[in-house]
Amino acid sequence: MTPGSLLGDLPERSRILIIRLRSIGDIVLLTSALHLLKSWRPDLVISVIVEARFRELLEGNPDVDEILFPGEGPIKIASRLGAALALRRKGFAVCVNLHGGPTSRFLAKVSGARIRVGFAHFRSSQQYHILVPDARLILNQPTLHTAEHQACAFFYLGLPRKEIPRTRIFVHDKHKEWWEQRRAILGLAPRQEYAMVHPTALYPTKQWAAEKFAQLAVALEQEMGLKPVFSCGPGEGAVLDAVQNASSTAICRLENSGLGQLAAAYSGARLFIGNDSGPAHIAAALARPVVVIFGSSSSAIWGPWPRQSSNPPAQVVQNFYECNPCPGDRCYRFQRPECILSVSLGQVKSAVESVLVRSAGNS
């Protein structure tokens, strides 16, 4: 079996299973590789397994023929066994596991696919027929963006190497209608321009200070004529509370919305500003101008894709330290996460002003 000819040699209408269970950023960044694959061989039937809470990131995407789920809920074991039996009945020719965790290993093993593919660094690598080597060796680059890393698996399997396109998300009409109603409730006039601001992140080492977000909101509204709308994910309302407590007036809050609804809100924004997080990738996939504030993680690996996008513009704000990147769950060098806390309001304002000017020139 020659890995480099696998995808090209597949018969017409062959079924391919791709496993990428989570999270927001990984799934959004996968859409670039999916678009390359489907554009090259539109006959292939592409199924992607994601956790059900992320399904709206792929809904409506013409490069995905089927969205599957791993089996969840209170009877998790029985649910996953049912999902496994359903997979086997589909007759997959190839299963590509991009996730690598225990659940994805189980799903790959029981998928019934004639050929199972995983990365060489995965645990239990012996269960795969083809092991994709270090993606940095495939592209001969010392550091790869996550979008490049995922595309490399398909390059290794025979997908012709091309420039990796931007990510894509498609907003359903029902979510557009929801946002039109919601923005009226939030007090936004029909044609009023607004900026989406996402002040939350997975770890404190990636989360810019709430008081700086509050100060930025004042600048957005008074100096740039943009209404700031603050968004957060489930269980993250306390961060918006902190921004509110640091503000002199009530902030505009978008909470408890699904990913499809969030995408609808982002799709109409003049720009997105936020921490390194999944929502930043949603905004970039919707071709919104973005400013992303980085702390402990690598902007070379997790920054907006494509790099140095000029249309629409994207800009990273980050102060580099020798300890960057780190696992991020805590600061391993200082008493507090200086990497994210050192980012000044002036730096972010300057980035926002630059992105606004450049995006106006592209319109």
Give the model confidence (pLDDT) of 28-56 as tens digits: 999 999 999 999 999 999 999 999 999 99
* Rounded distance between C-alpha atoms, residue 292 and residue 314, angstroms: 8
Q: What is the pLDDT of residue 204?
A: 95
Of 29, 45, 54, 57, nearest to 150 by C-alpha is 29
Structurally, the chain folds into a number of domains equal to 2
- Rounded Cα distance between 277 and 294, Å, is 9
Residue-level pLDDT at 78 = 59
356 shares a domain with 212: yes
Could you tell me if residue 169 is inside a domain? no
Is residue 82 in a domain? yes
pLDDT of residue 272: 98
Are 317 and 349 within one domain?
Answer: yes
Are residues 142 and 188 located together in one domain of the fold? no
Statement to judge: residues 127 and 184 lie in one domain: no
Instruction: Please indicate, yes or no, if residue 161 is contained in any of the structural domains.
Output: no
Range of the domain at 48: 3-156
Do 186 and 148 share a structural domain? no
Mean pLDDT of 238-255: 96
- Checking if the pLDDT of 75 tops 60, the result is no
In a domain, 163, yes or no: no
Residue range 101-147, pLDDT digits in tens = 998 998 999 999 999 999 999 988 889 999 999 999 999 999 999 99
Q: Are residue 238 and residue 139 in the same domain, yes or no?
A: no
Cβ–Cβ under 8 Å, residues 19 and 105: no
Q: Is residue 166 part of a domain?
A: no
Q: What is the CATH number of the domain that holds 124?
A: 3.40.50.2000
User: Residues 171-215: pLDDT tens digits?
Assistant: 999 999 999 999 999 999 989 999 999 999 999 999 999 999 999
Tell whether 256 is covered by a domain: yes
* Residue 40 covered by a domain: yes
The verdict on 316 and 183 lying in the same domain is: yes
Please tell me the pTM assigned to this model: 0.94
